[in-house]
Structure 1
């Protein structure tokens, strides 16, 4: 399988990092894992046709993971004429997709049809604990804790005798992530460090800086914990992503390697890995 990062940033203005989106190719099929802001732009830069993508899997409905959906659908309708495209995600995905697809329909249309005509995109809402076939992939979905009033899902994709696991966003949930990532060829996991947050927020006033730090501590995963999950799961490769503007690759690597002896990669937009 091949993993290509279209966007590796957190939900903020991070230079050189678009919102979360990953192109996963296996068994002759390509899918998107999340569709954050600028995902379509990154596809164009990588020379990948959106028409080659059969499904989009959404981990949850926060903006940095889904705001690229309307522009992606618009690009697929004209000039490609490639609808329908299946979208899979947690509860609430159908309502969000209707809005995103409706926005795209206002400004485009299928070739040979008028602009503004309704566009229909199949949506499947996936409950936690689900296991199903999606083209060449066997996909296992588990719920992970992230933010109130929102279901966030981590997934394991198996094809070609290998597994790739993607966490979306999550706080510490080793009881879920370790079994999900057991023996995976690659564990792709968001992370943060307190040092990175301190650098990022150094110019903020004290109240704002404290709010940002508290938000990450309550809704995201610190890098040492992520590395321990990779170790306990026996993952063959750990890829750290969803990085905020203050993170430094050398610090993240040093911390991760103190807890996990396997290879560690810091994601960047355009990075392509074969597993």
Structure 2
């Protein structure tokens, strides 16, 4: 048996995590003198409401190695596992991967830590795939090999209301040159090579949403999609619109809707909306 661990930037709901026996290690949201556990001491709705009214900007801190050590032990005991697989967000976006590796040095059983090079439901889709393979009886070696096959094919595209938060948090990557662009220009960003990069820019928010769909239609073509995710931070109407269009067009095996967690929202700001999918051929 294999225990599966990830961090809260995977944006997997509590219900999905419980259903698939996935242990989620919370990131830390630092707000003034408060140190809040992401998804435990502050949920997404509370975070975004507070973000829009408070003058003090929040920050994030990755889980400590000890947090992962405890998670490995607890997850292993919970499912009576022999070993643990931990999937983290891109190491170019956070030191979470390093903490996860260091945490594995303090347990007397095998832990495999995988840098997925992605985040949000891009990471979440991979974690759920790992759980599905485990439940079908695949070995840890087989699961890691299959995940490695999927990693290059995970896509994450998103639109933010403003680049201010990405710029302030130092997560803007190769989209830095877009800061200061005209207010009516809405950049479509994506995760590529483990960092945030610009895909293209359009005028108006509605056109950006339509372009997100067009990108998915163009990239995916007529293939049968196993997993598609829609994620948002304080943008439920836009997320529902994307969900309906994607469901109608693809009828995917799994269609996930997720709130973008506080730890990601610190760096993206409110009213973010995005899509994620896996282009791997079955």
Q: TM-score, normalised by structure 2?
A: 0.36
Q: Larger helix proportion, structure 1 or 2?
A: 2
Q: TM-score, normalised by structure 1?
A: 0.36
